[in-house]
Amino acid sequence: MTQALAHPNIALVKYWGKQDRAGNMPATPNLSITLSELCAKTRVSDSDQFEFQLNGQVVDDSKVKTLVDSMTQEFNLPPMRIESSNNFPTSAGLASSAAGFAALVTAIDAHCQLGMNQALRSEWARRGSASAARSVCGGFVALVPPDWQAQSLAPSKHWPLEVVIAITSHDAKGVSSTDGMERSRLTSPFYNQWVRSAGDDYAEASVAIAERDFAQLASVAELSCLKMHSLMLTSRPALSYWTPASLACMDRVRELRNSGEAVFFTIDAGPQIKAVCLPESADQVAKALADVPGVREILRCPLGEGARVIDD
């Protein structure tokens, strides 16, 4: 039996749309921060047949099955039982699949002694879910051409940002990211412009991170997030992941920033707000978001490390 742990990551330059070829490659360069505190733990053991359990329940997950089948074929692996658990809500816009696939590939690599390096683990995690490629690395992470294997831009200690997550709903999302981004690619009139402008957003964010320029990172990260949500809203049928509380939290973050706090928001395919802060603003931001009507829970996460094998 082998166990691995991985954390979710939050994209600051978003991935929303795939290339039209095999391998689950994003259409645009993207960049994220890996969180600590929240985690997926995945245990792999020998078994007579494939079985996947999520949070203690046997689940028929076609993405997990497809990835394990591909790895089994490629490396001639025996059947395995896979038990995964998350210490945070699943499928609610908190990157549970990113953490899950990064932990899964890391656990299979170790259990079956495949000897993969980080880049190869990232590539296999990407085939499961492209954002999972980034959770293999810690700190500030890029997923860019030509290889589309995630690479570390800077370790977490380079710039100790903190993420305050405002949970506005515990419900699982209605339309998966995979289906939603394909709908946007096929139907949003803004999709081509999104693809054309992503390289500039990526370049600006990577410079802001290298120079620890919070105002510049705030500006480009909110832009990338709102461009992605504009694609969602202009898809046919429209995709809308926000609750009234998500909107109220965005306003509250803007007010906090106008009053001098170092904070910006980002939101994925779900209703939760992720407020990225400098550490000196985190207490104030957490307090303010907790008071927004409709916010059910606040989670706080400093930046974390990449996927790794752990003792039982």
Question: Considering only residues 15, 88, 191, 242, which one is a binding residue for ligand DP6 as defined by CB under 6 A?
Answer: 15
Strands (E), the chain: 2-6, 9-13, 30-34, 40-46, 51-54, 57-58, 80-86, 140-143, 151-154, 162-167, 263-266, 273-277, 297-302, 308-310
What are 93's two structure tokens? Answer: 């816009």
Per-residue x/- track, 102-131, ligand DP6 (CB under 6 A): ---------------------------xxx
What are 174's two structure tokens? Answer: 């209605």
Q: Would you say 63 or 81 has its CB closer to ligand DP6? A: 63
Q: CB under 6 A: which stretch of 9-17, 49-57, 66-74, 298-306 binds ligand DP6?
A: 9-17
Give backbone dihedrals phi and psi of 11, rounded to 5 degrees, phi first: -75, 135
To the nearest whole angstrom, how small is the minimum distance from the Cβ of residue 239 to ligand DP6?
11
Q: CB under 6 A: which stretch of 12-20, 70-78, 151-159, 250-258 binds ligand DP6?
A: 12-20
To the nearest whole angstrom, how small is the minimum distance from the Cβ of residue 184 to ligand DP6?
11
- Counting beta carbons within 10 angstroms of the beta carbon of residue 300, is it exposed (0 to 12), middle (13 to 18) or buried (19 or more)? middle
Under 8 Å between Cβ of 277 and 260? no
What are 63's two structure tokens? Answer: 């993405």
Number of Cβ within a 10 Å radius of residue 278 = 16
Beta bridge partners of 302: 162
Asked if 88 is part of the footprint of ligand DP6 (rule: CB under 6 A), the reply reads: no
Asked if 178 is part of the footprint of ligand DP6 (rule: CB under 6 A), the reply reads: yes
Give backbone dihedrals phi and psi of 142, rounded to 5 degrees, phi first: -115, 140
Q: Would you say 112 or 249 has its CB closer to ligand DP6? A: 249
To the nearest whole angstrom, how small is the minimum distance from the Cβ of residue 281 to ligand DP6?
24
To the nearest whole angstrom, how small is the minimum distance from the Cβ of residue 48 to ligand DP6?
29
To the nearest whole angstrom, how small is the minimum distance from the Cβ of residue 177 to ligand DP6?
4
Asked if 14 is part of the footprint of ligand DP6 (rule: CB under 6 A), the reply reads: yes
Strands (E), 168-311: 263-266, 273-277, 297-302, 308-310
Would you mind telling me the total number of residues written for the chain in this entry?
312
How many Cα atoms are found within 13 Å in the side-chain-facing hemisphere of 19?
17
Question: Considering only residues 123, 162, 222, 268, which one is a binding residue for ligand DP6 as defined by CB under 6 A?
Answer: 268
Site for ligand DP6 in 17-36 (CB under 6 A): 24, 30
| Residues of the shown chain interacting with ligand DP6 in the complex, contacts defined by CB under 6 A | 11, 14-16, 24, 30, 97, 129-131, 177-178, 268-269
